[in-house]
Amino acid sequence: MRHSLARVLTGGVAAIAAGVLPPLLSPSPAVAESVVIGGQPVRAADSPWVVAVSSHDRFGGTRAGQFCGGVVVAPTKVLTAAHCMSPDVLGGPPGQVRDLRIIAGRDRLRAKGGHVVSVRSVQVDPAYDPGTNAADLAVLTLERALPRRYAIRPAEPGDSAAEPGTAAAVYGWGDTSGDGDYASSLRSAPVTVLPDANCSRAYPGGSGGRYEPSTMLCAGDPAGGHDACQGDSGGPLVAQGRLIGLVSWGSGCGRSDSPGVYTRITTGVGAVAAAVGAQVPR
C-alpha cells in the first residue's frame, strides 16, 4: 500500500541522536524526513535563501538538530511547511521549543560559519488543514535579521515560473535515496513543474492522499529519479529565480508515477504578504 508522506524527520530524539534513522511515516501530517533524490551538492553561497530548521533539544545533534527546510523571503522572515510546526513534530506548540532555530549560509549542517538564528515567533497560514496538508505554509519570524541578499522573491499569482513545463530545482538536506541515506551537505535536484492532472491521477484521495490544485503545486521528473524526500519538508522549489513552492508531501521518493506535492506559493502569497509586508524583495 502506498502512503502519503509529509517529508519531515521524525522518530524521536533518542533514535536520531543515536544515528538510527526512522522509517517513512504515513499519512500527511508527519514531519519531514527527506533528502533530495537524484541531486548533486550545491553551495550555500549560491543559494543563500535555503535554510535548515533545527532543534537540538528535540532532534539531537547528529544532524545539527535539522528536521525541516525553509527559505528566506525577507531579512527576518523564513517560510517553511506548516506541518513542520505541528505538535506531532515538535512535541507541543512551537513556543515551547526553547531552541527552535534556523541555520543559514552553511553547506554542511555540522560545519562552522554561516548564521544560527533563534525563531522569535511562528505564524501558521490560517487556511492550513492538517488533515489534507492544504495551505501547508508557516512564517517564522527571526530574532535578528539575516543579510538582505539572502532573501528570494516569492512568485505572485500568474507568474510564468509556476506554469507546467517550467524547469525548477528543489533543495534540501534530506534523504538522497529513499532508503534513509541522509545528506550531510546541501543538495539540489532538477525537476519540472507538471500539470495538475498528473498529481490528481497520482493522488485521487483515500489512503494515498488527495491533491488539491488550489493550494498545491505538482512537480517531479516524468522519468523518475529526481525528487524531494524525507527531511526536505518546507524546503524551496525554485524556478526562474523565484520561489514557487515548498516541499510538502508525496508517495515514496523519485517515482515517475508519484510526483512531489508542493505548497503553491502563488496561492499563499496573501498569507506571506500579511506576515512579511514591505520586507518581501521585489
- The active-site residue, picked from 4, 28, 55, 83, is 83
Gap between the Cα atoms of 253 and 216, Å rounded: 18
Q: Is 251:264 a contact under the CB 8 Å cutoff? A: no
Asked if 136 is an active-site residue, the reply is: yes
Asked if 233 is an active-site residue, the reply is: yes
Q: Is 256:250 a contact under the CB 8 Å cutoff? A: no
Gap between the Cα atoms of 122 and 115, Å rounded: 19
DSSP 210: B
CA angle 113, 122, 183 (to 5 degrees): 40
- The amino acid present at 282, given as its one-letter code, is R
**What φ, ψ does residue 59 adopt, rounded to 5°?**
-120, 5
Give whole-number Cα distances, 95 to 8, 37, 51, 58, 78, in Å.
19, 32, 20, 13, 16
Gap between the Cα atoms of 50 and 189, Å rounded: 14
Asked if 46 is an active-site residue, the reply is: no
Bridge partners, 115 (sequence order):
104
Gap between the Cα atoms of 83 and 90, Å rounded: 10
- The active-site residue, picked from 233, 248, 251, 258, is 233
- The active-site residue, picked from 125, 136, 221, 232, is 136
Gap between the Cα atoms of 9 and 15, Å rounded: 11
Catalytic residue IDs: 83, 136, 233
